[in-house]
Chains A and B, each alone.
Chain A
Amino acid sequence: MKLTQGCFSFLPELTDDQITKQVQYCLANGWAVNIEFTDDPHPRNTYWEMWGLPMFDLQDAAGVMMELAECRRVYGDRYIRVSGFDSSHGWESVRISFIVNRPPQEAEFELVRQEVGGRAIRYTTVRKPAAHAAQ
């Protein structure tokens, strides 16, 4: 199951050229570009670990791509995403975020229903154990 989070996640995987262009777009807008990685891609987990500091004073995407290559070398078996943070007044939030690296075996989630008082239903998204562990 392909994990769909952030921008472009229903498209085929972005190539490095496409990532470069997206990053350049972020830099041209003056956004701080971050590289984040995690082995826990649960949709409610907003806090991924940062790879280095936010890159807010670069001119060219090549610098980000250099860091991304390094991050992929170390954490190629995890999810990596690139996000652009807009610090300008009124925004002060992440403007773009997209996945740039996936583990060979993607994480899977399922919906768990719990019946509570008055026949109300509580829904929980839980991660399924990895396939090789289940077998």
Chain B
Amino acid sequence: MLDVPHPTTDEPGETSFDLRKEAEAAGITDTLQQLDQELIGLKPVKNGVRQIASLLLIERIRQRAGLASAPPTLHMSFTGNPGTGKTTVALRMAKILHGLGFVRRGQVISVTRDDLVGQYIGHTAPKTKEILKKAMGGVLFIDEAYYLHRPDNERDYGQESIEILLQVMENQREDLVVILAGYGERMTSFFASNPGFRSRIAHHIEFPDYAEAELLVIAELMLKERGYRFSAAAREAFEKYIELRRSQPFFSNARSIRNAVDRIRLRQADRLVSDLDRMLDVADLETIDPADVLASRVFSGGADARSANP
């Protein structure tokens, strides 16, 4: 309120609008482009985000034109398997909302059940309110939201937290946007047992699993960010790795790939250090050899799955 011009303060009566200029001024074009470039795949998500951004942009212009406009409900739910980019997209979403002036500050507070629900009677309400206060003017991202509701325990304090959340989501829609995230099926049953949530959330976005080719591109992007690259043979080995890893338990998409990349770096460093008498050049330092990939336990029947390293 102090520094962000709120859309309602604009005088009505303008009649023509340069849409491109409006979009650029709000920073949407940049953010969407960034979303396109930095996130591999995720077609339906990008479409969903683009639609919401368009709605918000038009809504803002309508306000300025003096047309009837109700403040849109912006609460969202992101469903999808682990590692499909829900948190990353939530951060981008906050940027878009902030650019358009639908949230005033644009900070993202990311919480889970532990941050909202207390451990004894009378502990939950202050805890939930504390988080809500921090999130005011921004986005509250509740990860694994279905844990809030424990159907097997009717005296669980989660229900208390849900009630406070619902009340604020309804009464202070202009002050904060709530994004619930979690794995598909469990979110469905969560919404089924909390119809209040379902009806207060306008946008449901589903995050699909990555295809193998997309995972490879992601891996290469991650390596590039860290200043490495695959040799041709290592690339092939990694394709094989993805294929095997996907069929093993606890596969969590991009997150598994990130862990794999980190372990590959470890093995590469180990391989280089094991031969101390050798002169290294830059190519040695940045190239991943097939040996670094093939040493993974994934190739020996998936011991990865049984270790504490999902």
Instruction: Report A's interface with B, CB cutoff 8 A.
Output: 17, 20-21, 24-25, 28, 52, 55, 57-64, 66-67
CB neighbours (8 Å) of A24 from chain B are 1-2
B175 contacts A62, C-beta separation under 8 Å: yes
B137 at the A interface (CB under 8 A): yes
Q: Are B133 and A66 in contact (CB under 8 A)?
A: yes
Q: A59-B107, A66-B129 are in contact. List 17 more A-B contacts (CB 8 A).
A: A20-B1, A21-B1, A25-B2, A59-B134, A59-B137, A60-B137, A61-B137, A62-B137, A62-B175, A63-B133, A63-B136, A63-B137, A66-B132, A66-B133, A66-B136, A67-B129, A67-B133
Residues in A neighbouring B129, C-beta threshold 8 A:
66-67
A20 to B168, CA, bound (A): 18
Shortest C-beta distance, B163 to chain A (Å), equals 15
Could you write out 19 A-B pairs with CB less than 8 Å apart?
Answer: A20-B1, A21-B1, A24-B1, A25-B2, A52-B126, A57-B134, A58-B134, A59-B105, A59-B107, A60-B104, A61-B1, A61-B137, A62-B104, A62-B137, A62-B175, A66-B136, A66-B172, A67-B129, A67-B133
Give the total of B residues in contact with A, Cβ under 8 Å.
18
Q: With CB as the reference atom, state the residue of chain B lying closest to A25.
A: B2
Q: Which listed residue, A28, A55, A62, touches B176 by the CB 8 Å rule?
A: A62
Q: How far is the CB of B4 from chain A (nearest CB, A)?
A: 10
Does B182 belong to the interface (CB within 8 Å)? no
- Nearest Cβ on chain B to A19's Cβ, whole angstroms: 11
Contact with A55, one of B1, B133, B138 (Cβ below 8 angstroms): B133
- Minimum CB–CB distance from A53 to chain B (whole Å) comes to 8
A residues less than 8 Å from B133 (CB atoms): 55, 58, 63-64, 66-67
B109 to chain A, nearest CB (A): 9
Residue of A nearest to B168 (CB): A66
